[in-house]
Amino acid sequence: MAERLIELRDISKSYGQVYALGGVNLSVDRGEVVGLLGDNGAGKSTLIKILSGVVKPTSGEILVRGKPVTGWSAARSREAGIETVFQDRALAVQQTIVRNIFMGRELTGFLGFLRVNKEIEEASRLMREIGFTSKVFTPQSIVGQLSGGERQGVAIARAIYKQAELIVLDEPTTALSLTETAKVFHFVRQVRASGRSILFIGHNIHHVFDIADRFVVLDRGKVALTTDRSEVKSAEDLINFMEEVAHPGGLAGLHDAGDAEQRAR
Amino acid sequence: MSKTMEPDLHEPSAGIPRPSAQKEWKHPSDHWMRGFILDNRAALGTLAVFIVMMAVFMIANPTVFTTWYLYRSVLTTLPVALFVVVPLVFVVTCGEIDLSFPATMGFASWVFALVVQAGYDPFLGIAAALVTGMLLGFLVGSLVVYGGLSSLIATLGMNFLLRGLIQIINEGKSMALTSLSDSWAYTIFSSQLLGIPVQIFWAIGFVVLSAMLYNRHRFGAQVRVVGDNPDSAQQMGIDVKRVRVKVFVFVGIGAAIAGTFSVMINFTWWPTAGDGYLLPVLASVFVGGTPTWGGIGTVVGGAIGAVTVSFIQTGVVAAGLSGFYVQFFNGLIIILSLLGHKWNQARYR
């Protein structure tokens, strides 16, 4: 078995009286692509925010390479080699591509002054690596001038910088057009080919099904299913399961309509 | 394209040679001057406003505007404003505002005056003023950031509070510091060099250093990112609160220097020291081309804005108009500059 990169043990999170997560276990091995699925409000985003250190869990344990961590924060998460592409992309749109890629880990030399040329070099290397090149844009272009798909490219380029071992992609294709979605999946496949682990969160099961080795289905703050891809025959199986979880027993009519709609895509 | 990963900081050319790859990344504006103008459009716009304004003044009264005396008086008082305008550009870029700097100027220069009056070396006084400015900046910043208060209201309150403290303790009495005139500190910070007030050299140095801090330093980079999108900055591991407190501390340091310089010009400390700078300094920041919404700004533009604002008063009077016109022209220049900047820079969302 491959090395266990990260493990979340019995993670709970409550906002006042409301439970967002109730004892979730999730692990990602080295080189593994995990698809995290679940309906709206299942707790996917909360789990991701805990993993990336933005939100503190109410209880539970986080282990990096088998060792429990303390004082988990966004900075610590990045140090541990976890890079998150957030749903809102977390870009500063009035800044250049370079400033966004090096946000929070500026390359500095003498007395904290920026190594500007080195940063530009590194930024263009990263953008070439994920196949995000254009004659129109340079690393010094302002992010606000880019399209949605291109902005996602900047967020992914930032995530693959340096020794990142686990890339977390939180719904990277939300609100993107078909061609832009294709562009993002092109970026994702480049990341995958590099041997990094990926935790992919998505609504569209067909997208996740194509690239994941393992699926984890969340439902109302709990893990409803963990399965290897080899155990699932088709994306439809997974969809059926998720609907079974969401509407146990009845609502047969809704099932059929939902299935037909999903297949039509 | 190479699919192999380079986990460390190797040069891209270290692996497979890609002669065409480098060429793809040329700046869209081929000529370096076009790039320079695009990158500095706000500052250049402010410079244009200043040049037009000075041209109008010179045509109105050529004799006064060719005498050196006029410029010398501006160059003596302008540096005081510059020391606060520049840190305020950082604050505004960070998405905050600081209206407490006039009181900080008064407070820090009060400490300076006390040390000098007690017979200590003025250098010790300057050090004490700087420490006071830093502490007050830290206090104001912590109140805003950790107290979760609106910086507009909280700093306004702190301005009144600190000024009130000065007034209560001093009961309106000023302090004459005649011993300053033959001190080393005076020669270094407040005398003249070849007929030019030496303050302006210190101020220019401060502006250049701050511009480097803003554009080429981790501090400036983080200030811009925090002002642009604080949530993202936090998600990327930046200590947003700490960056915010730091900009207030920077204003405190600038205000302390400004207050000390103003006392050294007059050899006197007044309990109202710094009060007159509130509105001109704020106007300078925005005339300079730093927008109100945060994320971007220009230190050099702010400095040119300060030059513009300090020439309005002198210029209007020297051009032969009565002092009643000063406020009108102040307003006119501010509005025209804002309109110019609005047209000159797009806001990306």
Q: What is the pLDDT of residues B294-313, one digit of tens each?
A: 899 999 999 999 999 988 88
pLDDT at B1 over 50: no
CA distance A157 to A167: 11
Give the rounded percent of residues in chain B with a pLDDT score beyond 70.
Answer: 91
Task: Choose the most confident range, by mean pLDDT, from A30-34, A98-102, B189-193.
Answer: A98-102
Candidates A30, A54, A85, A125: best to mutate against B (most CBs of B within 10 A) is: A125
Asked if B342 contacts B290 with a C-beta cutoff of 8 angstroms, the reply is no
B31 in a structural domain: no
What's the pLDDT score for residue A263?
47
Give me Rg for the CA atoms of chain A: 19
Q: Does B296 touch chain A (CB under 8 A)?
A: yes
A256 three-state secondary structure: helix
CA distance A130 to A164: 14
- Residue B112 in any domain: the answer is yes
- The answer to whether residue A252 is domain-embedded is no
Nearest to B228 among A95, A105, A113 (CB): A95
The pLDDT of residue A253: 46
Structural domain that includes position A116: 4-232
Q: Do A92 and B218 touch (CB under 8 A)?
A: no
Average of pLDDT values for B117-143?
94
Q: Is B18 domain-assigned?
A: no
Would residue B238 count as lying in a domain? yes
> In DSSP terms, which residues pair with A61 in a beta bridge?
A9
Helix axis angle for B325-344 and B299-318, nearest 10°, is: 150
Give the integer Cα–Cα distance in Å for B222 and B218.
6
- Considering CB atoms only, which of A75, A106, A134 is closest to B221? A106
Nearest residue, CB atoms, B236 vs list A103, A124, A145: A103
Domain at A22, CATH number:
3.40.50.300
Q: Both tokens of residue B349?
A: 């969302």
Query: Which 3 state secondary structure label does DSSP give A38?
Result: strand
Tell me how many degrees the CA angle B110-B111-B115 measures, rounded to the nearest 5: 115
CATH value at residue B71? 1.10.3470
Measured distance CA(A163)–CA(B57) in Å, rounded: 60
Q: What is the pLDDT of residue B30?
A: 56
CA-atom Rg of chain B in angstroms: 23
Q: What is the mean pLDDT of residues A80-87?
A: 88
Q: Chain B residue closest to A141 (CA)?
A: B27
How many CA atoms does the CB half-sphere of B210 hold within 13 Å?
Answer: 28
Q: Any idea how long chain B is? A: 349
B83, B203 contact by CB (below 8 A): yes
Mean pLDDT, chain B, whole residue set: 86
Cα–Cα dist A12/B331, whole Å:
58
Query: What is d(CA A147, CA A178) in angstroms, rounded to the nearest whole number?
Result: 13
Q: Residue count of chain A, please give it.
A: 265
pLDDT computed for residue B345 by the predictor:
77
**Burial tier of B335 (Cβ tally within 10 Å: 0-12, 13-18, 19+):** exposed
Residue in chain B closest to A72 (alpha carbons) equals B237
Asked, for residue A243, whether it belongs to a domain, the answer is no
Closest CA to A14 of A55, A54, A63, A48: A55
Q: Provide the phi-psi class of B218: left if phi over 0, else alpha when psi is between -120 and 50, else beta.
A: alpha
Q: How many CB atoms lie within 10 A of CB B293?
A: 14
B204 assigned to some structural domain: yes
Tell me, yes or no, whether B102 lies in a domain. yes
Q: Which helix (H) or strand (E) holds B288?
A: none
Average pLDDT over residues A216-245: 80
DSSP label of A110: G
* Chain A contact for B61 (CB, 8 A cutoff): no
Domain coverage including residue B97: 42-341
At B242 the pLDDT is 95
- Asked if residue A251 is part of any domain, the answer here is no
Instruction: Please tell me the total count of domains within chain A.
Output: 1
The nearest alpha carbon in chain B to A115 belongs to B216
Residue of B nearest to A125 (CA): B12
Q: What is the mean pLDDT of chain A?
A: 82
Task: Tell me what pLDDT residue A206 has.
Answer: 78
User: B217 at the A interface (CB within 8 A)?
Assistant: yes
**Selection from B252, B263, B238 nearest residue B98 by Cα:** B252
The reported pLDDT for the residue numbered B115 is: 94
CA angle (B257, B228, B277) in 5-degree steps: 30
Whether B237 and A143 lie within 8 Å, measured CB to CB: no
Phi, psi of A161 (to 5 degrees): -65, 140
Integer Cα distance of B127 and B101 in angstroms: 18
The tens digit of pLDDT for each residue in B260-271 reads 999 998 889 999
pLDDT band at A249 (very low <50, low <70, confident <90, very high): low
Partners of residue B229 in chain A, C-beta under 8 Å: 90-93
Q: What are phi and psi of A176, to 5 degrees?
A: -110, 150
B8 pLDDT band (50/70/90 cuts)? very low
Query: What is the number of domains present in chain B?
Result: 1
Q: Which residue has the higher pLDDT, B20 or B310?
A: B310
State both tokens at B313: 């008063």
The secondary structure of chain B in percent helix, strand, coil, rounded to multiples of 5, reads 75, 5, 25
Is the residue at A247 inside a domain?
Answer: no
Residue with tokens 């789990």: A47
Are B228 and A92 within 8 A, CB to CB?
Answer: yes
- In 10 A of CB B313, how many CB atoms? 18
Report yes or no for ipTM above 0.85: no
Task: Say how many Å lie between the first and final Cα of chain B, rounded.
Answer: 32
Interface contact B218-A103, CB threshold 8 A: no
